[in-house]
Amino acid sequence: MRIAYLTDIDLWINSGVRQKHLMQVATWNRYGHTAKIFCIPHVERIPDAAFEIDCENYEIFDTKLARLFKKGFAAYIRKIFVVNAVIKSLRRFSPDIIYERSTTWYPGLDRILSKFPSIIEYNALLEKELEVTSKSRVRLMHSFGNRRLADCIKGIVGVTDEITKYYTTLYNKPGITVGNGYDLGQVSAHGIHKGEGKRSPSQLIFVSSPGMIWHGIDKLFELSEYLEDVNFHLVGPYYEKQRPNFIQHGYLSKNELFELYSKMDIGVGTLAFHRNNLTQASPLKVREYLAFGLPVILAYKDVDLSGQDFVLEIDNTEDTITRNIQKIRNFINAWKGHRISRERVERLIGYAGKEQKRLDFMNTLLTQKSIRIGLLQ
């Protein structure tokens, strides 16, 4: 198949989603397909300087008009005014299918998706997310146009059953659940904690992104107040409060982050998905923790990891820290200095099976004239 991957993720900025895109495209190409990324970045301005992207086949679309606007509205203008350029490029590429990472609707998105058979991947309940992250005019525009996508797409991919069920029902389209995976081949064999071993304080890491209140950085800080003998490492945007055992690294390069992982004992996943109306999730950062063999603490049900002994599941509630402090302490003490075997991790989150399942779904939508509506198992 020839697959056009449509996204608004900034390919030159290191992030979990960027890594996911590059891993997926590389995997599809290894399986004998031809994939290309078509990117309309969600930034105010694309850098003038050259940047390196670990992908040979991509195209980034921009318009000088976007530079006249500020903040998120610049990205919205860019998307509207590059629609024709995207369609022309797609026609030159001549894909069998468009695979789009879900984004806020904008005028012209349905035009793009209607030109070729298309699938949308949803990583959250987007409408619910916009209620807590976006202004009313953005929500209104999305609501106005989103239903039009039902006539433009062939199917849905969700990263949890909760998400897949919601959108297959909304659009009356077939769907499949594929939890996020990780290409373990890009991480060398992980080692045990570098440093003083069991004599040193336990080291916990949390990787965050800006503007996402459901990450629950405030809860991580609350946990650091209860566990003064544990070091908490925050990567990403700075938090306004400080403590001696709450260590803020800011944004790190891939190599810097990987080096930090090698020194950690536990990875902490999202702690406040209840703020985003979700009970299930499949975060990329947790897959990366596991690639380094780190046990994890999660405040939600993970589609791939629930029930594993190296996963501590706590309540998805506002008071989850106070309700589970002793369980968290016991888990940290039990797993300090241990690593999860590569074989166990591969079985749960390895890319091979997940991407083959995704590719099979694409092929099914292209070859079957009719397909049962609803969630595919």
Predicted confidence (pLDDT) per residue in 92-135, tens digit = 999 999 999 988 888 999 999 999 999 999 988 876 666 666 56
* Percentage, residues of the chain above pLDDT 70: 89
Q: Residues 58, 87: contact at Cβ < 8 Å? A: no
pTM of the model: 0.82
What angle do helix axes 320-335 and 217-226 make, rounded to 10 degrees? 70
Residue 375: pLDDT over 80: no
Indicate the pLDDT class of residue 372, thresholds 50, 70 and 90. Answer: very low
Helices (H) and strands (E) in the chain, counts: 13, 16
The pLDDT score that the predictor gives to residue 377 is: 38
Alpha-carbon span 314 to 300, nearest angstrom: 7
Alpha-carbon span 302 to 296, nearest angstrom: 11
> Which residue from 97, 80, 91, 77 is spatially nearest to 35, judged by alpha carbons?
97
Residue 373: pLDDT over 50: no
- Classify residue 91 as exposed, middle or buried by CB count within 10 Å of its CB (0-12, 13-18, 19+): exposed
Alpha-carbon span 162 to 281, nearest angstrom: 9
Alpha-carbon span 5 to 193, nearest angstrom: 38
Residue 160: pLDDT over 80: yes
Mean pLDDT of the region 318-347: 94
Q: Residues 234, 291: contact at Cβ < 8 Å? A: no
> Which residue from 97, 105, 125 is spatially nearest to 363, judged by alpha carbons?
97
Report CA 91 to chain centroid distance, whole Å: 28
In the beta sheet, which residues pair with residue 121? 101, 157
Please report, for the chain, the start and end positions of each structural domain, with discontinuous segments joined by +: 2-181+350-376, 184-346
The pLDDT score that the predictor gives to residue 75 is: 81
Topology (CATH level 3) of domain 184-346: Rossmann fold (3.40.50)
Alpha-carbon span 238 to 200, nearest angstrom: 25
Query: How many other C-beta atoms can be found within 10 angstroms of the C-beta atom of residue 97?
Result: 20
Q: What is the pLDDT of residues 254-291, one digit of tens each?
A: 889 999 999 999 999 999 999 888 899 998 899 999 99
Domains 2-181+350-376 and 184-346 share a fold: yes
Domain at 2-181+350-376, CATH homologous superfamily: Glycogen Phosphorylase B; (3.40.50.2000)
The pLDDT score that the predictor gives to residue 151 is: 87
Alpha-carbon span 130 to 86, nearest angstrom: 25
Residues 6+ apart with CB under 8 A from 367: none
Alpha-carbon span 22 to 41, nearest angstrom: 15
Indicate the pLDDT class of residue 376, thresholds 50, 70 and 90. Answer: very low
